[in-house]
Amino acid sequence: MHASKPSASRREKLRVLVVDDHVTVLEGLTAILGRQEDMSVVAEASTGHHAVDLWKIHRPDVVLVDIRMPQMDGVEVIEAIRRLDGNARIVVLTTVDTDNEVYRAVRAGAKAYLLKDCPREELVDTIRRVHRGETCLAPSVVAKLAAGVSSDPLTPRELEVLQLLAQGYSNKEIATKLFISEPTVKTHLRSVFSKLDVLSRTEAIATASQRGLVKL
């Protein structure tokens, strides 16, 4: 008598690695995906470094990862995994949708970008579609991606000046902190205003915050 073959559903389950630094979110996502007949959560990670280690062990079909995590953020996780396998399929699930974060994630190789308030049906459908090789980006995400591509990127020094500006420092104080002259600070700010297409310090801070360039 021949041994019975494993069912198609068992044999073909989509294997997922879930990464989020909030334990309750991690447990919730694992429960949602675990209830899907065609999915199996093979591992959970609450840090970026652990996620990369678990990916090496399990080689999951799809990785579901948050963006904002301490020490090693989601974009760095995507970059590290795709250095190991350029075909790795990764879905971002986050609360952050600034132009800069979307641009960084997609540029790193994310195949989908979802917000945590999306319907669970959209989440599981996106995971399935990414597993099939599709790229799933909502029109709003594509618009943010286009904004990131079209804008002239700020230099590291310009970002430093902008961050200090956002923290309320004057030109003179910024110059002292960065060990540069006040005229040089003004030159950097003119360049920042031009690249962000703004006319004032207040507008620059608001625009930079919306794009995820500074943390207030």
Question: Two tokens at 117?
Answer: 């308030």
CA angle centred on 80, ends 112 and 42, rounded to 5°: 65
Mean pLDDT, all residues of the chain: 88
| pLDDT bracket for residue 146 (50, 70, 90) | low
Q: What sign for the dihedral angle of Cα 72, 77, 79, 83?
A: positive
- Tell me the HSE value of 8 on the side-chain side, using a 13 A CA sphere: 0
More confident residue, 201 or 214: 201
Of 68, 67, 102, 63, the residue nearest 82 (C-alpha): 63
Question: What is the arithmetic mean of pLDDT over 115-140?
Answer: 91
pLDDT of residue 9: 44
Give domain limits for the chain: 14-147, 156-211
**If you average pLDDT over residues 91-103, what whole number do you get?**
86
What is the full DSSP assignment across 184-211?
HHHHHHHHHHHHHT-SSHHHHHHHHHHT
Question: Which residue bears the tokens 């003179």?
Answer: 172
11-39 mean pLDDT:
94
What are the tokens at 63?
């990785």
Fold matches, 14-147 and 156-211:
no
Residue 118, phi-psi category: left (phi > 0), alpha (psi -120 to 50), beta (remainder): beta
Fold classification of 14-147 (topology level): Rossmann fold (3.40.50)
Q: What percent of the chain has pLDDT over 90?
A: 65
Query: Quick check: 150 pLDDT over 80?
Result: no
Is 40's pLDDT higher than 90?
Answer: yes
Cα–Cα distance, 151 to 187 (Å, whole number): 19
Name the helix (H) or strand (E) containing 28.
helix 23-34
Long-range contacts of 125-132 (CB under 8 A, 24+ apart): 126/91, 127/14, 127/16, 127/33, 127/39, 127/62, 127/64, 127/91, 128/14, 128/38, 130/62, 130/89, 130/90, 130/91, 131/14, 131/61, 131/62, 131/89
Cβ proximity of 205 and 197 under 8 Å: no
Q: How far apart, in Å, do the first and last CA atoms of the chain sit?
A: 69
pLDDT above 60: residue 155: yes
- Grade residue 7 by pLDDT with cuts at 50, 70 and 90: very low
Domain 156-211 fold is: Arc Repressor Mutant, subunit A (1.10.10)
- pLDDT interval class at 6 (50, 70, 90): very low
**pTM, full prediction:** 0.69
